[in-house]
A and B are shown apart, each in its own frame.
Chain A
Amino acid sequence: MDTKAPSMMLPALIAGGSLGFVSGIPISNCACCLWAAGAGFLAAFLYSKTCKKAGTDFDTGRGGVIGLLTGAVFGVVGGGVNSVFSLITGGLDVESMREAIDANPMITDPEAAAQAVELFESVGPMVFILAFALIWIVLGVIFSALGGLVGGSVFKVQAPPTVADGGWSSNPPSMAFGGGESPPPPVSPGEPPREE
């Protein structure tokens, strides 16, 4: 049996792409950390199904890895979609940025607000878009890795032994026998042992 692990790209693209798209839409911008963690969890679930079919192991460590990969996809897609929406709705020109900062009661410090507007005027919207996308990717990777870790723990898959009788493992012969020799072929219960 081919024990090569299946590619992680497809589940990462499906989970990270779809949930990243949804979280990037401003209307669904609620508990976004859960979208990212959910993407990692979903990717782990999808990958565990693939591993089960392919007869390979899937454990927590791999869950974390696929979570990282999914988080990167999630961040790129989410950041991209959000930036596109900001550009379409005109939220990234200086005047609307100034209005948004003035209207935002969360920015309590007027000096910091003035600094933010000055910074925005001096660097332009593209730098803000890139910085924002970078933050999105970092947060996506962190939360998605956590989701993938949990998914790997929940949907753990152990590869079945390839031969029931005799208990040969599914690992390469060099690991199972230590000498790189091929294991003997399987013998079914009713069949007489072969003579070499």
Chain B
Amino acid sequence: MKRVDPRARLRLAVLTAAAGLVCAVVVLIPEAEIAGWYGASLLRPVFQPACHQITDRCLDLGAGPLPVCARCAGLYAGGLVGLLVTLLSGHRFQPPLRWLAAAATPSIIDFILGFTGLPTLANWPRFVAALLPGLVVGLMVAEAVCRMTAGNRSAPAENHVE
């Protein structure tokens, strides 16, 4: 298994910090509202283009519904975990596309069931089902960052055919 080179690790750290910030904002908005931070409610519409925000489908961690649905929360959390795994382990996982297809299957089935009006998963199982594709996408993004860094560094050498 290939190792993450130090320059790629720095970029990955920045990307992971940004992803962590987004996840923290998602979790902290209801807490901030409870604490009387009025501006927090105005942050909810920021996520509207990225999620339907139907309250019944959002996780409630005790302070009120999150600003994104359980599926989106699972995707974000999974993506963060994927980036963290690559960053902390220092290994490049290089997941193929079929991993993503396999990981997304439960969420796709759940989506189709919901679309056709059949019973669907509850919020927490839906969150867990979305964690898997999120995780694979996180690993893929981390691999893409590593490749991009490696490509930039070795570009002049690759111009010559040995």
A residues engaging B (CB < 8 A)? 29-34, 36-37, 59-61, 63-64, 78-79, 82, 104-109, 111-113, 115-116, 132, 135-136, 139-140, 143, 146, 149-150, 152-154, 156, 161, 167-169, 171, 175-176
Contact = CB atoms under 8 A, between A and B. Distances in A.
DSSP class of A's interface residues: helix, strand, loop or mixed? helix
A108 B60 CA distance: 13
Contact of B55 (A37, A61, A106, A152): A106
A32 B55 CA distance: 16
B50 interface: yes
B42 A161 contact: no
A112 B103 CA distance: 39
A176 B40 CA distance: 57
B28 interface: no
A150 B144 contact: yes
Interface of B: 30, 33, 38-42, 44-46, 48-53, 55, 58, 64-65, 67, 71-72, 75, 97, 111, 137, 140-141, 143-145, 147-148, 151-152, 159-162
B49 A60 contact: no
Contacts, number: 111
Given A149-B145, A169-B161, A33 B52 contact: no
A104 B53 CA distance: 10
B102 to A, nearest CB: 15
15 contacts: A59-B151, A60-B144, A60-B148, A60-B151, A61-B148, A61-B152, A64-B148, A82-B49, A106-B58, A112-B33, A112-B40, A113-B41, A152-B147, A152-B148, A169-B160
Given A106-B55, A116-B42, A169-B160, A146 B141 contact: yes
B91 to A, nearest CB: 16
B21 to A, nearest CB: 12
Given A59-B148, A60-B144, A112-B38, A175 B159 contact: yes
Determine which residue in B58, B111, B161 has the highest number of CB atoms from chain A within 10 A of its CB, and name it: B161
B65 A106 contact: yes
B159 A32 contact: no
Give the one of A37, A104, A106, A167 with max B CB within 10 A: A106
A32 B41 contact: no
Pairs A-B, 7 closest by C-beta atoms: A112-B41, A149-B144, A153-B144, A60-B148, A60-B147, A136-B49, A167-B161
A139 B50 contact: yes
B65 to A, nearest CB: 5
Contact of A63 (B41, B46, B48, B144): B144
Given A60-B147, A143-B50, A150-B144, A112 B159 contact: no
Max count, chain B CB within 10 A of own CB: residue among A61, A115, A136? A61
